Structure 1
Amino acid sequence: MTRLITLFYRLLDLVLVALLSGMALMVFLNVVLRYGFNSGIAVSEELSRFFFVWLTFIGAVVAHHHHMHMGMETFVAALGRRGRMLMMGVAELLILGCAWVLFIGTWKQLPINMSMGAPVTGLSMAWVYGTGLFTAAMIALISGTRLLRLVTGRITEKEIAAFAGERHLIDEPLYEPEGDAK
């Protein structure tokens, strides 16, 4: 299972690289065409904006997985183990609530966006705004798993250190599920 999770996040990393590369290439090409040839590719402007949206939302999932979002690390680092675990539980519950709001809001907005097409490509705007469903579901899955591990007492010291921002104490993976062979 750990191997599948690692492969999934490597796949997301590759998707992020492809999106960023595609976005940079399209913008660069459009600048060259406009400056040198007084023309441009209209599709590239629209697609680069779409790529940026997906890059941001997928990046949020990867950052959440790696404990890289902003937090009150100075405060949490000053607490003992029990205080850190309590704060971790509170944080994960708040994150689950925010993910739920994002998911429901995106779900309610999706039918409206499905009926609208992008001005140049004609793609359904659901492809752009629908990324909220993926992001909310993945962040909820990550936080739910962390919360379950915390409540059942299977949380590791590495995970608690990662939550407290003590990156120098961490080396991958953060946890090793019981029964998984390396």
Structure 2
Amino acid sequence: MSQTFKKVLTNLELIIASACIIVTTSLVLLNVVMRYFFKTGIYWSEEVATACFVWSVFIGAAAGYKHKAHVGVDMLINLCNPTWKKLLTIAVDAILLLINGYITYIAVIYLSLSYKKPTPVLGISTAYISSSILVSFSLMTIYSIYFLVKDIRKSNKGGAV
């Protein structure tokens, strides 16, 4: 496997979220220019920009979760002795697995209901936008499993979690 391909796979969520932000920004900017100079806008740009923004938020959240970049308050955990620290870390991993798994389940239900509703301008199914929730929380559930297994293995080997 080439180094570039490996780097792309490692950062796939960031790449997708960044591409969506680029499309959102470009469409909004283009629409502003069109309205200012040509007194007309692109009728579908707001809908596509909103959809891309939603995708960037949810996929970006999955990327943040994967890289453990979300803000956390670990002051109390840092005050604990190493044994309690390991146990609390594993407990938090398990709780996050349950929460992410449950939201993934709810996202499936929400997605099945959103197929029926078309978008106002383009008339496409809102499921194309709503599927970002399912993709994001499915990824977070997978990462939660990975983190839990990794922390359990570290704990069993006697290493710091």
TM-score normalized with structure 1 length: 0.77
Query: What do the CA deviations read for 1:34-87 (whole angstroms, capped 9, x no partner)?
Result: 222221112110011101110011011110111111221222233333233222
Looking at structure 2, the residues matched to 23 and 125 of structure 1 have their Cα atoms a distance apart, in angstroms, of 17
| Secondary structure class of the residue paired with 1:72 | coil
Looking at structure 2, the residues matched to 34 and 20 of structure 1 have their Cα atoms a distance apart, in angstroms, of 21
What residue number does 1:32 align with? Answer: 33
| Secondary structure class of the residue paired with 2:119 | coil
Looking at structure 1, the residues matched to 45 and 66 of structure 2 have their Cα atoms a distance apart, in angstroms, of 31
| Secondary structure class of the residue paired with 2:60 | helix
Long gaps (5+) in structure 2:
none
TM-score normalized with structure 2 length: 0.86
What residue number does 1:173 align with? Answer: none
**Residues 155 and 126 from structure 1, CA distance in 2 versus in 1: closer, same or farther, beyond 3 angstroms?**
farther
Long gaps (5+) in structure 1:
161-182
**Residues 27 and 93 from structure 1, CA distance in 2 versus in 1: closer, same or farther, beyond 3 angstroms?**
same
Shift of 1:155: 8.8
Query: What do the CA deviations read for 1:91-147 (whole angstroms, capped 9, x no partner)?
Result: 211211211221111111222211111111222111111112111211111111111
Percentage of pairs with the same residue: 24
What residue number does 2:83 align with? Answer: 82
Equivalenced residue count is 157
| Secondary structure class of the residue paired with 2:11 | helix
Looking at structure 2, the residues matched to 19 and 8 of structure 1 have their Cα atoms a distance apart, in angstroms, of 17
**Residues 100 and 155 from structure 1, CA distance in 2 versus in 1: closer, same or farther, beyond 3 angstroms?**
farther
What residue number does 2:44 align with? Answer: 43
